[in-house]
Amino acid sequence: MYINGEFCDSEDGQTFMATDPANGEVIAEISKAGISDTKKSVDAARKAFDSGVWSGLSGEERSRILKQLVDKINENAEKLTGLEVKDSGSTVRKAGEDIFLSAKSLNYFSKAAAVNFNEDIPGLSKEGVSKNIIRYEPVGVCALIIPWNFPLKMAIWKLGPALAAGNTVILKPAMETSVTACELAKLISETEIPKGVVNIITGSGSVIGTELVKNPDVDKVGFTGSTEVGKIIMQNASSNLKKITLECGGKSANIVLDDADIEMSIDGAIYAAFYHQGQCCEGGTRLLLHEKIYDKFISGLKEKVERMKIGDPADKSVTVGPVVNQDQFDTVMKYIKTGIEEGAEILTGGKQSGSEGLFIEPTVFVNVENKMKIAQEEIFGPVLVVIKFKDDDEAVSIANDSVFGLAGAVWSGNDERALSIADKLRTGTVWINEYHLLSDRAPFGGYKQSGIGREFGTEGMKEYMEAKHIHIDEIKDRSKKPWYRTVVPKDS
């Protein structure tokens, strides 16, 4: 672990093993923090924040230093990619993309550090005789709690804006995938980021995660993970009314209209649903097909899904790796069983692939009704459910019939028609003829139970800032103050 600029083990010497889900091999032994280690990391972040070593630097200076970390990530891209493949079961193509995008996003945030968000606004009184400034300041000590599906990328999505804005942080990766976060600590130690500004602790969410969320010296929690844990965090963060941003689950609708390019939208549906074995919060896990193209689409989809290559994620030609761990494997298999019991029909897949490693065949269910569990709950595995609709209004109503509201897509040859659907979807992101693609400049986050707050763009930066209004009054003569005779007694 990395606390106050020092590498350390947990105080009580406890550890846990990082394993490779493709074959069960142990790849690293990692320190398992306890409550005292967690408190130590919070103290370090608190002292570093209060001392002003980071928040007191100019934005340009923070920008220059963060750029050093961008370069370190790029220099170590190959090593980080390899570690991500072994630790998480990401295919090498996906892991390589993750590391590239991590450096790219951090570069965006390093530039954002130098942006002046402060604003001058017009005077408040009719005469305009005051200067008004809105200043954006760091929130303080931020606990950053992240999931296992995009390990380094999620770390950067949180570290980037938090550090750019001048906060100090404690990063807690998921236990399933802590290896690249540990590697990141090494890279951070080689930059000019002052000690105590970034602390990285590894261990159990329910133990040290809870401590971070309840600790009164933590000012903000940035969380990505399940909706279930998001709700617990919201409750625990209320102890000192911490600021929170929650990026939680999804069950996004991928809508294909009757005027869509069929081949492209079949590829798009596969990409939307099965990228990283379906372990993506924004995944297009409900495929909504117009009845006119349904039969043609389904037969093309079946044929292509069955041609996907499952196997060793380190092999560049493989597109389906293992799911992250045994629990996730069991959960996915249980949902497949539930789907069958609910009366849905398996078009393809539905079984474990091979006998070694946690591989599941990409699975497509047809004859699905939107009220079924497999259409309402986030499975977070390679399972796609297909629902038929007859017109655009019905597509919108099925899409919005969900407790989630993270993302979705519309495939159509007519941008205007697609846009009128996009306008009606209650989700934070809508792609038209595309999927998964995010921009560093565009806000990302959820409506409804998909979360609170946004990441990226100006919105994302402001989640890590407090807004302060400063009013400088320019009426210097006391008798000219607008309130002069309202409250103040007459001179005697």
Residue numbers at the binding site for Mn ion (CB under 5 A): 18, 87
Q: What residues form DSSP beta bridges with 132?
A: 121, 471
The helix or strand, by DSSP H or E, that contains position 190, with its residue range, turns out to be none
Binder to ligand NAD among 22, 174, 256, 287 (CB under 6 A)? 174
Binder to ligand NAD among 148, 274, 456, 464 (CB under 6 A)? 148
CB of 54 to Mn ion, least distance (A): 31
Decide if 248 is catalytic.
no
Binder to ligand NAD among 149, 167, 254, 285 (CB under 6 A)? 149
Binder to ligand NAD among 30, 181, 213, 375 (CB under 6 A)? 213
- Cα 20 to Cα 141, 225, 268, 313, 321: the distances in Å are 33, 21, 29, 10, 11
CB of 26 to ligand NAD, least distance (A): 20
Residue 213 binds which entry of ligand NAD, Mn ion, none, CB below 5-8 Å type-dependent: ligand NAD
Q: What is the DSSP string of 38-64?
A: HHHHHHHHHHHHHHTTTTTS-HHHHHH
Whose structure tokens read 């770390």? Answer: 155
* Of residues 234 and 346, the one with the C-beta less far from ligand NAD: 234
Residue 210 binds which entry of ligand NAD, Mn ion, none, CB below 5-8 Å type-dependent: ligand NAD
Decide if 281 is catalytic.
yes
CA pair distance 399, 166, nearest whole angstrom: 39
* Of residues 50 and 330, the one with the C-beta less far from Mn ion: 330
Q: Which of 400, 428, 450, 427 minimizes the C-alpha distance to 226?
A: 450
Pairing verdict, β 119-121 and 345-348: unpaired
Residue 129 binds which entry of ligand NAD, Mn ion, none, CB below 5-8 Å type-dependent: none
* Of residues 41 and 224, the one with the C-beta less far from ligand NAD: 224
Using the contact rule CB under 6 A, the part of the chain among 60-68, 81-89, 204-212, 309-317 near ligand NAD is 204-212
Which residue's CB comes closest to Mn ion?
Answer: 87
Side-chain-side CA neighbours of residue 20 (13 Å):
16
Q: At what angle do helices 179-189 and 151-164 cross, to 10 degrees?
A: 40
The helix or strand, by DSSP H or E, that contains position 389, with its residue range, turns out to be strand 383-389
CB of 455 to ligand NAD, least distance (A): 7
Residue 145, interface with ligand NAD (CB under 6 A)?
A: yes
CB of 283 to ligand NAD, least distance (A): 8
Q: Say which of 176, 211, 281, 282 is annotated catalytic.
A: 281
Q: Say which of 84, 176, 247, 378 is annotated catalytic.
A: 247
CA pair distance 308, 319, nearest whole angstrom: 6
CB of 232 to ligand NAD, least distance (A): 5
Residue 224, interface with ligand NAD (CB under 6 A)?
A: yes
The residues near 273 (Cβ < 8 Å, ≥ 6 apart) are 254, 283, 284, 285, 287, 362, 382, 384
CA pair distance 330, 352, nearest whole angstrom: 10
* Of residues 212 and 366, the one with the C-beta less far from ligand NAD: 212
The contact pattern for ligand NAD, residues 429-448, with x = CB under 6 A and - = no contact, is: -----------------x--
Binder to ligand NAD among 165, 248, 395, 430 (CB under 6 A)? 248
Q: Which of 58, 72, 151 minimizes the C-alpha distance to 106?
A: 72
Binder to ligand NAD among 247, 312, 361, 463 (CB under 6 A)? 247
Side-chain-side CA neighbours of residue 337 (13 Å):
7
Q: Are 366 and 345 in contact (CB under 8 A)?
A: yes
Pairing verdict, β 119-121 and 130-138: antiparallel
Interface residues with ligand NAD (CB under 6 A) are 145-149, 172, 174-175, 205-206, 209-210, 213, 224-226, 229, 232-233, 247-250, 281, 378, 380, 406, 446, 451
Query: Which positions are catalytic?
Result: 247, 281
